[in-house]
Amino acid sequence: MYVVILAGGGGTRLWPLSRQERPKPFLPLVDDRSLLQHTVRRILPLVDEIDIFCVAERRYGQLIRDQVPDVGLIVEPSGRNTAAAIALASAVIDRPDDDVMVVLPADHWIVDEDGFRGVIKVAVERLAMGVFEIEQPLVTLGVRPTYPSTEYGYLRPDTMHGAKVDGVRANPLLGFEEKPTDARARELINLPGVAWNAGMFAWQRGTIRAALEKYTPLPMLIDQAVGSDLALANAYERITPISIDRAVMESAAADHHVVMGAMDVGWSDLGSWTALLAAIAGDRTDGATGRVVQPGETVEVGPDDLVVRPVGGHLVVEAGPAVASGTGGTIVADGVWAHLAGARHLIAEVHDLLDRVDHEEVRA
């Protein structure tokens, strides 16, 4: 078993907290460690650091070296989404074809870490070895949805064929559905066994290599370029950005070669201000929500709202009356802001969050 962590994405739904030069995976959002550092720490009981690799585009290489100096670093010339990153990792990391590669995003949050490691162990030792008469399947992990989100992809399992494997519910996968409409999300959440796509995978190295060769031109472009920075940069110029789900998993599911393992471990991708408020406040959110406000946008700020905005090179948080007249009102954003509705009672937690992120260095 070895682990490939994908550290990319701009975290645009967390602006101005997340930004291009220091995106979400590298920020200490919940405590003093970054999400990347937590991702490495969380998986370490199952593998040694020598078996953990992080894939990121060149501009984030130093951040990775600073935050997780003992893991392997695989540098992409530029970001081309998850299919290219996984193809590059499959080419660069020389392992036997039957060794299982676990793929994790760098920017997720898990409450039940023991439960998470238990699911990973089953995915590696049982599911990726073959199940439901599927030899060497591609394994994807799904999260039980808690509301009809339009921000996540969905996994549709074959509920007519399934079993508990060492305590983990597993099913052949019928298909993927990317970020649905609100109406479709409400339909999906009521279907038995449907899960959010967590972007976590387990597969034998030879299996993902064969799938990439079958469904994409990526191995043809990347394999011959490995070892030369110039050749790899030229190869990446020819790659159309596409996710592993679209490039491989959707077709593989149609070919009955994908298995889903269910994971109920308190997962969040912390992909929005609303999700972040829930993570830092727990059951004290009381319905507080957050969204990103663009420059020139008109915002209705109530007396119980907060606004996070950059001032003099730093982020500040202000309560409704401080940014709008009287007990609230209409204001026009002069930059990229975050509007946190009904979050005034969480101002201390938001202050602590901004203080953590404002520091130039994240504790190693």
| Chain segment 200-242, per-residue pLDDT in tens | 999 999 999 999 999 999 999 999 999 999 999 999 999 999 9
List, in order of start, the domains of the chain with CATH numbers. Answer: 2-268 (3.90.550.10), 276-358 (no CATH)
Residue 143, CA distances (Å) to 48, 303, 319 in order: 26, 36, 35
364 band by pLDDT with thresholds 50, 70 and 90: very low
Distance CA 118, CA 42 (A): 12
> For 24-81, what is each residue's pLDDT tens digit?
999 999 999 999 999 999 999 999 999 999 999 999 999 999 999 999 999 999 999 9
From 68, 108, 73, 265, select the one nearest 200 (Cα to Cα).
108
CA angle in degrees (0–180, nearest 5) for 75-78-79: 95
Contacts of 172 (CB under 8 A, 6+ apart): 132, 134, 157, 158, 161, 162, 256, 258, 259, 260
- Other beta carbons within 10 Å of 192: 9
Helices 113-125 and 35-43, interaxial angle, to 10°?
60
d(CA 15, CA 10): 9
Q: With 90 as the cut, is the pLDDT of residue 254 above it?
A: yes
Indicate the pTM of the whole model: 0.93
CB 24 within 8 A of CB 35: yes
Helix (H, G, I), strand (E, B) or coil at 210: helix
